Amino acid sequence: MLTKIIAHRGSKGIRPENTLPAFEKAIEEGADGIETDVHMSKDKHLIIMHDETVDRTTNGTGRIFDKTLAELKRLDAGGYFGYDYLGTQIPTLDEVVQLLIKKHFTGLFNLELKTDKIQYPGIEESVSAYMNQQTLPFKIIYSSFHPQSLIKMHALNPTVEFASLFKLQTKFARKFYRNQLVKDWHPDIRWVRAHRFFLPHVQLRPWTVNSTEDMRYCFKRHFDGIITDYPGRAGIIRQAIQGG
């Protein structure tokens, strides 16, 4: 089976991350999956962005949780990347999901709840309620660095697939796998490299696999997936190693 190529925040390497242009490009490049991150605004809207603050990827400052949707929509989330993307807005979860539906995306949609630094009140219930209202052509996978979010989401969605995210510590990942709460591990590629002789028999989808060397390493070992900023380049390398 081919190793799945999952676009990290969309085609983050060549488009402004976590924006509709980045997700459109990932689909265009044939990504098998899309990974993104969800926060909550001051007025309880589900917001797609990686950081807890808007400082790094927009022309604004401050925490997402302290801003309304209207305030967030006035920010430029593309200009930092290049002139061609001036005026690109921060998307909501609904806008991303509707784009994927419109584009007939049928792969994996890995939604990370960004609750490891800010525990947004009710975000698990809001995400579950929204996603469960949709007729989705794609498969949803929930992940988080925050164990309590995984526990809450699993209680709300016991039949959905879950993944443990981690950089170094595997305590909760091992516990959740034993208890059948998670099916997949999404470890830092550096952890994978350091434990290459003792890798567990679980579905591995390392992040962030960007170098040609790391891509080849993962494809040769037929990991279940890789999470990468460059899905187009990954597809070319996978073709050379795995065919298909």
Active-site residues: which are they? 8, 50
Full 3-state SS string of 135-178: CCCCEEEEEECCHHHHHHHHHHCCCCEEEEEECCCCHHHHHHHH
Q: In whole angstroms, give the CA distance from residue 173 to residue 99.
A: 32
Residue 82: its H or E element:
none
For residue 228, give both structure tokens.
């990468």
Residue 25 neighbours by CB distance under 10 Å: 20
Do residues 35 and 7 lie in contact, with contact meaning Cβ atoms separated by under 8 Å? Answer: yes
DSSP state of 122: T
Q: In whole angstroms, give the CA distance from residue 243 to residue 39.
A: 38
DSSP state of 187: E
Q: In whole angstroms, give the CA distance from residue 47 to residue 29.
A: 24
- Which of 189, 219, 185, 220 minimizes the C-alpha distance to 201? 185
Q: Is 85 helix (H, G, I), strand (E, B) or coil?
A: helix
Q: Is 235 helix (H, G, I), strand (E, B) or coil?
A: helix
